[in-house]
Amino acid sequence: MLPTYSENFGHVIFEAMNAGLPVVTTRNVDLWPELEASGGVVLSDLDPRSLAPAINGLLNDELTRVSMGATGREWVRTYLDRARLTAEYATMYARAADGRPIEAAR
């Protein structure tokens, strides 16, 4: 769980997901759209009335915890794959060197 007001990347989230753990965090993490799409994260508002049910929901549902953990782990290993990221950076720098707009990969 990472209830946060602001995280630019939130490494601990990806570390937990890579370990096969489901994660509860907020939309204050910059990559929240990607995290939401991953299937391994529950996004909550940053207040106890929202966080408590999100946490309790996972604590009381082992099947969901295991499923989300496996899904999140696979997503991290694909999304943050070194070869994929290296290729995206190479493309980004080549575009910049040629004076072309740099498009964010999402």
Instruction: Specify the pLDDT at position 5.
Output: 62
Q: Count CB atoms within 10 A of the CB of residue 23.
A: 24
Confidence of residue 31 (pLDDT cuts 50, 70, 90): confident
Confidence of residue 11 (pLDDT cuts 50, 70, 90): confident
Q: Count CB atoms within 10 A of the CB of residue 55.
A: 16
Write out pLDDT tens, residues 33-51. 999 999 999 999 988 999 9
Residue 41 corresponds to which amino acid? V
Burial class (CB in 10 A: 0-12, 13-18, 19+), 74: middle
Confidence of residue 73 (pLDDT cuts 50, 70, 90): very high
- Max CA pair span of the chain: 54
Instruction: Specify the pLDDT at position 19.
Output: 97
Q: Write a three-state SS string for the chain.
A: CECCCCECCCHHHHHHHHCCCCEEEECCECCHHHHHHHCCEEEECCCHHHHHHHHHHHHCCHHHHHHHHHHHHHHHHHHCCHHHHHHHHHHHHHHHHCCCCCCCCC
> Domains of the chain: which residue ranges?
11-81
Instruction: Specify the pLDDT at position 8.
Output: 58
Q: Is the pLDDT of residue 1 over 90?
A: no
